[in-house]
Structure formats: structure tokens, C-alpha cells
Amino acid sequence: MFVRNKDRDSRKMLPGVELKTLVHGDVTLLAEFRLKKGSSIPSHSHPQEQTGYLVRGKIRLEIGDETFDVEPGDGWCVKGGESHGAEAVEDSLVVEIFSPPREDYLS
């Protein structure tokens, strides 16, 4: 499968948070998140494992009881069912993989 960037649309998930599903297969989904400075993703959990990479900006990431100040090039992994949330310290670009794919990110 090959998907061109021009064929994908982003959608507003929360104030200051946009999601673009880049591509997905049977067992993984690749997504791009753009976060405006000051925006946040409240603590939540889901059954999918989630691995991520900060392309640019700076975020404060909470995974379980730990908080991390994430800078470009840093990565993380959130186990399925683990509580996590984020705050954008700067305008930021995040790329994440979900396995299995999140059905709510497919439409």
C-alpha cells in the first residue's frame, strides 16, 4: 500500500491538537499529531500499544506515574491500557504508531 500526503486530511481532535492518519495496515497505524503551544491531551488509556517520536517542538509527556520533558529525536512507548497524557510546551510535531490500529483513527 502507498498513500500520498496530498490524499490525507487532518482533523481537529482537541483544541490545538490535529491528527492526520498517515497509513495503516492490518496490525499497525501510523499517525501524525500537530500540537499548538499550550494545548494538552488529557490523561487517558486505550488497549493499543503506542510508540512515538518527537520530530520538532517540545512536549511534557506523562506515562503512568512518570513525567518526561521530550525534545526532538526522543522516543517513547506506552503499553496498552497504560494511562498517559501530554502538554505542548512549544508548537510540536509528533509521529506515533498504534498496534493494533485504532478504529477511531481510520475514519
CATH number at residue 80: 2.60.120.10
pLDDT by residue, tens only, the chain of 107 residues: 788 887 788 999 999 999 999 999 999 999 999 999 999 999 999 999 999 999 999 999 999 999 999 999 999 999 999 999 999 999 999 999 999 999 999 96
What's the CA gap between 94 and 107, in Å, rounded?
A: 20
pTM for this structure?
0.92
Provide the pLDDT for residue 3.
Answer: 84
Cβ atoms of 7 and 84 closer than 8 Å: no
- Domain-located, residue 5: no
Q: How many domains does the chain have?
A: 1
Q: What pLDDT is stored for residue 1 in this prediction?
A: 75
Kindly state whether residue 96 falls inside one of the protein's structural domains.
yes
Q: What are the angstrom distances between the C-alpha of 92 and each of 16, 73, 101, 104?
A: 10, 12, 23, 22
pLDDT of residue 40: 97
User: Per the domain annotation, does 10 fall within a domain?
Assistant: no
